[in-house]
Structure 1
């Protein structure tokens, strides 16, 4: 079984009560980062308790999605948006090349535990970058356009990315063992 408890998760807790609920009142940074954390933790819950070999199963044909592929994809998204485009770090892309742009979903080689560790590390690095940036108006460089991209815009994009893929993960998890919600 995969042991990837989300932040604030305690064994024996069933789903939603293990996550920190985003605040009803707060400044913009607190609201945005709380919602991003909520979605990261939701994704971790979708994967928690699933046998590693089942994480790679493509359970919703004709889609080729799997939880393992989503783990790899979201690790790459964290790196791409916050480390590469925003912070300007010179690090290689994860699970992507121009010759094989869909390898995050298509090539599920490698250890699932390693993919989970990479995702966790990318989330932690993203948190560090956001925490060290004093203003949501701070910008990085959007690679596709060469234009500035604000941290605020990136955080909104990350929330949308996780929300979309949490829906996919919910369908996959339901097909694996009937679990829904979180």
Structure 2
């Protein structure tokens, strides 16, 4: 499978542009993982970090769920990988963890996130609140934060991919 990334429009309305940039960064992360084995995708950066490409995908599945489902829509769901006992569980991989499962979970969270976001206008405040601060956010802020979150982690993904097989790119 070849990942197709669409450049975001330079003239779209605000919501279309925000959604375009978010989707662009989602596909960038998928592209950074493309063509690698499960073992390569589980390869950590450098000690003591446990960050890996598969871990980043699992992390972003939890971030998608947290912001769009838990905060924006106040849907009560348990994170797929982390727990109170292991708050960074998405990065704690074993030989049993597979790309197929991580990718499917991430894509399911993206689909649910998009469905929830479609119910709100950009200025609508979240139904739920941030678990640590109690703050509410409008959808515009969540889109902007998600773009920032993916952009930052795509930088990590670029370095991880280069370490694995020497591939580089935007």
Q: Give the TM-score of the pair, scaled to structure 1.
A: 0.86
Offset of residue 21 of structure 1: 0.4
From 110, 122, 146, the equivalent of 1:136 is 122
How far the C-alpha of 1:92 sits from its partner, in A, is 1.0
Partner of 1:14: none
Task: Indicate the residue corresponding to 1:46 in structure 2.
Answer: 32
How many angstroms does 1:162 deviate by?
0.3
For 2:102 and 2:150, how far apart are their aligned partners in 1? 17
The answer to whether residue 27 in structure 2 is matched with residue 23 in structure 1 is: no
1:37 is the counterpart of 2:28: no
Q: Which residue of 2 aligns with 1:114?
A: 101
- Corresponding residue for residue 12 of structure 1: none
Moved over 6 A (4+): none
Q: Partner residue of 2:145?
A: 157
What is the CA distance between 1:103 and its match in structure 2? 1.0
Deviation at 1:36, TM superposition (A): 0.3
Q: Give ranges in structure 1 of 5+ residues lacking alignment.
A: 10-17
Question: d(CA) in 2 for partners of 1:42 and 1:118?
Answer: 17
Report how many aligned residue pairs link the two structures: 167
TM-score w.r.t. the length of structure 2 is 0.91
Show the counterpart of 2:63: 77
Deviates further, 117-126 or 143-152: 143-152
